[in-house]
Structure formats: C-alpha cells, structure tokens
Amino acid sequence: MFEFIASFTALPNLHPALVHFPIALVFTTIVVETASLLLKKQVWLERTAALLCGLALASAGAAYLAGRNAADTVRGIPAGAEALLAEHSDYALWTLIVLALATVLRVTASAGDRDRAVSRFGILRSIGVLALLVAATLIACTADLGGSLVYQHGVAVASSDLRVNAAGMLPAAIDEPLATEMAQVVTTREDGSLFWQPESADPSPFGTVLRPAQNGTLDAVEISGQSSGEAGLGIDVSGFAVLCFSETYGDVAIEAVVDLSRFEGTVGLGHHILSVENGAYFTVDSSRQAYLTLRQGESRNEFDSALITDLPVRTTLSTSVAGSHLKGQVNGQVVVHGHGSSGDDGQVGILVDGSGYIGIERITITPLSHG
C-alpha cells in the first residue's frame, strides 16, 4: 500500500512525508494541554487536547509503519548505518507505545464526570500529561536519529550508489576494490571493516583466513581447480560446512559477492557462530527460498522467510544484526527482516550445504556501532 501511494509522488517512500505530523501534533497537544490547565473554565481546550492527542497517535502509527516499510525497501543502506537505523526504529516504537498510553489516559479523563470523580480525573490527567512529556522527549530523539541517517549517512538520498559523507562531499564510489597485492590478506579499512578479495592463484585460505566452526570439519569443501572467470576463489562443495573468520563480533554486517551458477543447495552468511551447531544465519537455496534462522543444537528458531523473485547466479548476499533487528539482503534489497536475540557474541562466516562449485569474489565484514 505504501509503495502504491508513494508512486504518485517524487518521494522514494511515504515515511518522509508522514514523520512531521506526529512531531507537530505532540508538541501542539502539550501547548493546548497547558492552556487548558491555565484556563480551566475553557472546557473546549480540554477536549481539543484530547482530540489532538488521538490524532498524534494515529499519525505516529502511520509514520512508524511507513518507516518499517522504508527500512525494507530502500536499497543501498550503508552497513555503518544499520545500527543507527535499528536504534531509530526502537525509539519510534517506544514513542508509539508511550503516546498510546497518553491517549488512553487523556481520552478516559475527558470522558469522565469531573463533578463525581474529581480526584480520579486529576490523577488520570496528570499521568497523561507526564506520558505526553515523555513521548515528546522520545519523538525528539527519534527525529534526531532519523536526521543522522539522512544527513550523515545519506540514507535514501538521491542514488543509492553515492553517499554524502559528514563533510558534505560525494565519494567516488562505494566498495572500491583494494589493490590486488592485498588479495590473500584480510585488510582493515578506515571505517573498521575487514575486506577480503581472494584470487584463484592464492594459496588455500583454509586454516589461515577461513577455519571450520568449532566441532566442524573441512571434509565437505576443497579448493577448486576451476576458475570462476573473474577474480575470486573457487570452492568445490560436497556436503555441509561452516567456514569462519577468526574474529569475534556482536552487532555486525557481512556482505559477500558469490558465483552460484554451478551450485545446488543452500548457501548463507552467519554471525554469532559459537560452533557448527550454534549460530544465526541468513541463507538462500536453489529454490530461491530465503531464511533468517537461529540454530541452537537440534533446534531451529526461524525469524523470517521469503521467496526471492530473482536470484542471479552472480549474487551479492548480505546480512546484518543490530540489537534485536536482523536482516538478509540480496543485491541490496531486503528480503527477510526479523527480530530476536542472536545469542552471545561469536564468529562470522559462510554456511554451505549442497554440491557443486561456489566462487567467492569478495567478503566485507563491518562491526556496527552507533557512533
């Protein structure tokens, strides 16, 4: 529905058009509420405040839903902005909850008989006013985080291929390949992310860059003698394996460019990996099904799943976890989005389960923070 309405505008989505209404209505409600307290004989002010509070709640609900839709449809959100986006969403949800409480209290107080229950009326109204002030604080924090997403990270600004940095300059490009002489080494970029661009002629990365997850083996994978036709490392797969980088992460974003043209089965990216049986994964399979799951021994907790409309043989897979927000993307488009706990900090890596050839062109790992 949001996409259909937005198609009649120049906006990428409806969220920017809706966010101003709850901000204006919340603060207007506080002004009218204050006036009604000072001018107690003006009953219409009291009723107007209750009406405005209800309108603020309705507009906040619409803005929140439009924001969730925008978070899943805007392409090219920088990995460094994912934690900020999750915090923005959490603040918006708390704003909505507190505003709903304020509205219920305010409407209940206005609907009561003040002559028969003056004390109850006063208590309800006082708590409602306090809730309004809390909602105003939360909505200000939410707006500030939203502004940071747009003006510091360039989220949803013009083309997703270019971002405006803090100095207001446009970078030449995103994810420029590093020099080929660094190919076998996992290098650290200025933003703290790790970048690996293997070459087919490089020595085996097994035991150096990639290691089997705890309790796992390399029995189902080996370096392929084939070439993907482009820069990258070929792996022959004949079963199940989880290959991990040695570093440990909490909130993190992972992106991998892979060639799946000769592979049948499931491939995915994982984080919070503690062992081959325990970790959180974004996976896609040959039937174009995508899943967000938490594996804990024999149990599988599915956060979200979806059917992918298009899965090119050369695909960019990415996943991120920021707080309780988990996402999986294919070529920059969010296809699954779930909420829950990923467990203790752990390693990140690649899951394969099937048979055939997988080409790994590059992998980027970005620790997420709100800074």
The domain limits of the chain are 2-151, 180-367
Using the 8-state DSSP alphabet, how is residue 181 labeled? G
- pLDDT of residue 316 exceeding 70, the answer is yes
Q: How far apart are the first and last CA of the chain?
A: 34
Say if residues 363 and 254 touch (Cβ distance below 8 Å): yes
Q: Give residue-wise pLDDT tens across range 57-73.
A: 999 999 988 888 777 77
60-64, 109-113, 127-131, 219-223 — which is least confidently predicted?
Answer: 109-113
Question: What are the residues whose beta carbons fall under 8 Å from the beta carbon of 288, sequence distance 6 or more?
Answer: 307, 308, 309, 311
Residue 225: pLDDT over 70:
no
Indicate the average pLDDT of the chain: 80
Predicted pLDDT of residue 174: 36
What angle do the packed helices 20-38 and 43-73 form, to 10 degrees?
160
**Among 116-120, 267-271, 311-315, which stretch is predicted with the lowest mean pLDDT?**
116-120
In this prediction, residue 123 has a pLDDT band, given cuts at 50, 70 and 90, of: confident
Structure tokens at 99: 């505003």
User: What pLDDT, in 10s, does the model give residues 138-173?
Assistant: 999 988 888 887 777 666 654 444 333 333 333 333
Question: What pLDDT is attached to residue 121?
Answer: 64
**Residue 163: predicted pLDDT:** 39
Determine what percent of the chain is predicted with pLDDT higher than 90. Answer: 35
Domain 180-367, CATH homologous superfamily name and number: Exo-inulinase; domain 1 (2.60.120.560)
Q: How far is CA 20 from the centre of its chain?
A: 23
Q: Is the pTM of this model over 0.75?
A: no
- 200 φ/ψ angles, rounded to the nearest 5 degrees: -60, -25
pLDDT of 232 above 50: yes
On the question of pLDDT at 12 being above 70, the answer is: no
Task: Quick: pLDDT tens for 252-297.
Answer: 999 999 999 899 999 999 999 999 999 999 999 999 999 999 988 8
Residue 7 pLDDT level (bands cut at 50, 70, 90): low
Half-sphere exposure of 145 (CA within 13 A, CB side): 21
Of the candidates 371, 68, 353, 361, the one whose C-alpha atom is nearest the C-alpha of residue 231 is: 361
In percent, how much of the chain has pLDDT > 70?
79
Element (H, E) at 132: helix 118-151
Distance of alpha carbon 222 from alpha carbon 104, whole angstroms: 62
Give tens-digit pLDDT for 16-60: 888 899 999 999 998 988 888 788 777 788 788 888 988 999 999
Closest residue by Cα to residue 242 from 220, 259, 265, 264:
220
Residue 278: predicted pLDDT: 92
Residue 296 confidence (pLDDT): 87
The three-state secondary structure class of 138 is: helix
